[in-house]
A = this chain, B = another copy of it.
Amino acid sequence: MSASPLIEQLIQALKCLPGVGAKSAQRMAFNLLERNRDGALHLSRVLHDAMEHIRNCERCRTFTESTICHICDDPRRAESAQICIVESPQDVIAIEQTLQFKGRYFVLMGHLSPIDGIGPSELRLDVLQRRLEDEKIDEVILATNPTVEGEATAHYISQMCEKQGIAATRIAHGVPVGGELEYIDGNTLTHAFTGRRKF
């Protein structure tokens, strides 16, 4: 060990960040110590608060520090009678940035993956089922990733919709097969929404 025990601990702890290896962690640790202690103390506090207080929205399951997220809590978002199904909160951000979709979301926080023990109850499809029964919903837009698991998940949910007599559509053009929704530019996502077809 060549740094002090506490600096070594800091370098190790920074490696919990995705994409940060030993060398970047060392660079980050010394950079913060040398140049930005206030920023680091602020990050420490916000990290703590976020990990302690951010839970899942009771309606759409996205991350929020409130019981109901700000999208679910906005009555104007119910007017379109549409629900968009996505795999992750980052997908919500990507779609919101297109400014094309005015409805609500349901965030699966994953996709069906029997081999990993992720079935309908892990994705809380019971919560979605109650929404299909209780809310006025004209269309469910399936915006899961165009991967094998994402397609299987979309198929499963389309069957839930069919039983409930609700139209299910799948986003289409422009999403490259095998790609991940959160990395796609807004223009492509807009086209994918416009070109959606009945599932």
Kindly report how many copies of this chain are found in the complex they form together: 2
With A and B bound together, what is the CA distance between A36 and B41 in angstroms? 20
Return A163 CB to nearest CB of chain B, in Å. Answer: 30
- In this assembly, does A184 line the interface, its C-beta being within 8 Å of a C-beta of chain B? no
Map CB proximity to B onto A39-63 as digits: 1 under 8 Å, 0 otherwise.
1111111111111111000000001
In-complex Cβ contact of A47 among B2, B30, B41, B66 (8 A) = B41
CB-based contact A51/B37 at 8 Å: yes
CB-based contact A65/B4 at 8 Å: yes
CB-based contact B13/A47 at 8 Å: yes
CB-based contact A47/B50 at 8 Å: no
With A and B bound together, what is the CA distance between A34 and B24 in angstroms? 22
CB-based contact A2/B92 at 8 Å: yes
Residues of B within 8 A of A24 (CB): 19
- In this assembly, does A115 line the interface, its C-beta being within 8 Å of a C-beta of chain B? no
Return A106 CB to nearest CB of chain B, in Å. Answer: 16
Residues of B within 8 A of A80 (CB): none
With A and B bound together, what is the CA distance between A40 and B3 in angstroms? 22
Residues of B within 8 A of A16 (CB): 32, 36, 39-40, 42-43
| A87-116 interface with B by 8 A CB criterion | 88-90, 92-93, 96-97, 109
